[in-house]
Structure 1
Amino acid sequence: MKKNLLKKEAADFIIARVKNLSVTHQPQWGIMTASEMLFHCNSCNRQILEEGRENKKTQVKQYLLRILALYIAPSFKKNIQGEPEHHTKGKTNDLDFAKYKEEFVGLINQFPLTTRSLTLSHPAFGNISTEEWGIAAYKHMDHHLRQFGL
């Protein structure tokens, strides 16, 4: 079974890993600082948990990418560019690192408590189920924690 942030055990595992992150951690790939990474993850997770969008038609390419990324590939590839709205380079302050980390933990804790459907359309995968959002969110958090060696 795929790890899923909607499951408390998976959320707790992500939280335990992020607790080891410090502002001085350097990325093993990419250009984000630890503060920028947390800010980015928080932005994405807030959007997943809070927003719903009118379902757009899912393209065949998106469906195939979803199957590959969520069910076949063990993890997301390094250096994949995300949506411009979630780019955080130069938009954070390391003095706010503790605040970003606290928000990260709070948002991750919300996933297992979610009782409503997550209806946001994924930019790369199209319309995905709530269960698939849990898998995608876990893989995204895992990707960024691995980026910082955690």
Structure 2
Amino acid sequence: MKKNLLTKEASTSIIARINNLSATHQPQWGEMTASEMLLHCNSCNKQILKESRENHRTTLKEYLLRILALYIASDFKKNIKGEARHETKGKVDSIDFENQKNEFIHLIQQFPTNTRPLTLTHPAFGNISTNEWGIAAYKHMDHHLRQFGV
């Protein structure tokens, strides 16, 4: 079974890993600082938890990419560009690290206690289920934690 951020076990493991991150950690790939990575994750997680689906029909390409990324590939690929609205380079200082880390933990804690459907349209996978959002969110957080070696 795929790890899913909607489960207490998965969210607890992500929080335990983030507690090993410091503002001075350097990325093993990419250019974000630890504070920028947290801001990026916080921006994405807020959107997942708060926004709802646009009127969008999932394409065959999105469906196939979803199956590959969520169910077949073990990890997300390194250096993949995300949506421009989640670009955080230069938008946060390392002095704000603890605030970003606390917000990260707060948002991760909301996933297993969430009771409403997660209905945001994924930019690459199209319309995905609440369960698939839990898998995608876990894989995304895992990706960035591995980026910083935690």
Q: For residues 26-45 of structure 1, give each alpha carbon's deviation from its aligned partner in whole angstroms, at most 9, with x where no partner exists.
A: 00000000000000000000
CA distance in 2, matches of 1:54, 1:67: 21
CA contact (8 A) 2:53 2:127 kept: no
What SS does the aligned partner of 2:30 have?
A: coil
How many residues are treated as equivalent by the alignment?
150
CA contact (8 A) 1:51 1:120 kept: yes
CA distance in 1, matches of 2:49, 2:110: 8
> How does the TM-score come out when normalised to structure 2?
0.99
RMSD over aligned Cα atoms: 0.5
CA distance in 1, matches of 2:132, 2:44: 15
What SS does the aligned partner of 1:112 have?
A: helix
Runs of 4+ residues over 4 Å off in structure 1: none
Unaligned 5+ residue runs, structure 1? none
CA contact (8 A) 1:23 1:97 kept: yes
CA contact (8 A) 2:15 2:105 kept: yes
Per the TM alignment, residue 93 of structure 1 is displaced from its structure 2 partner at its CA by 1.2
Q: For residues 6-48 of structure 1, give each alpha carbon's deviation from its aligned partner in whole angstroms, at most 9, with x where no partner exists.
A: 0000000000000000000000000000000000000000000
CA distance in 2, matches of 1:54, 1:81: 21
Q: Which amino acid aligns with 1:107?
A: L
Q: Which amino acid aligns with 2:3?
A: K
CA contact (8 A) 2:122 2:128 kept: yes
CA distance in 2, matches of 1:9, 1:66: 23
Per the TM alignment, residue 55 of structure 1 is displaced from its structure 2 partner at its CA by 3.5
1:91 aligns with 2:98: no
